[in-house]
Homo-oligomer: A and B are copies of this chain.
C-alpha cells in the first residue's frame, strides 16, 4: 500500500524526466496526484527537496554496489558479474539515471547531484575511463548516456520492449563496448 509521499515521488520522477525539472510545476504534479499544490509542499518542503527524494534511492543503490565491489579484488569474473549488476541497476533506475545524465549540468548547487557526480566518477574508474585513452573515456560515456537514452525513449514513446530481451541485448552491447578490447577488433583502423 503506497503512501502519498511515494506517489508524489513517482509522479515527480516521471514528469521530471519527460518534461524536465524546471518545466515541471508543482501545480502539475499536484494535479496528477489529485491533490493541491499546498499538499505537495506539505510532504516535501520545496521542489528541490522533492527532486532530492526522487534521485536519492538510485544513488544509494549504486553506492552500495560500488562499495561492495571495492571490498575485494577486481577479477575478470567479478567484472562480468558487476556488468550484469550494472545492467540491472540501469534497467531499474533508468529514469533517475536519465534525469541525472541530461539535466545534471543545469542542476548545479543541488546537493544530491553532487553525490550523483561522485558516484559516476567512481563508476568510471572501474572501466578505466578516468585513466585510459580517449577512446576508453568515450566508450564509457557512450555506454552510460546511450543506455539511459535508449531505455527512457521507450517509455516516452509509449511502447515497451520485453524486459528479458532488452536485458540480454544490453548485456551483450555493454560487454562489447566496455570489455577490454581483444586485439582482433582493432584491426581495421590506421595509425
Contacts and interface: CB of A to CB of B under 8 A. Distances in A.
A5 interface: no
Q: How large is the interface on A (under 10, 10 to 19, 20 to 34, 35 or more residues)?
A: 35 or more
A165 interface: yes
Given A23-B106, A141-B153, A166-B134, A171 B189 contact: yes
Interface string A155-176: 0100001100110111111011
B135 A172 contact: yes
Contacts of A176: 176-177, 185
Nearest to A23: B22
B19 A106 contact: yes
B189 A172 contact: yes
A83 to B, nearest CB: 12
Contacts of A141: 146, 149-150, 153
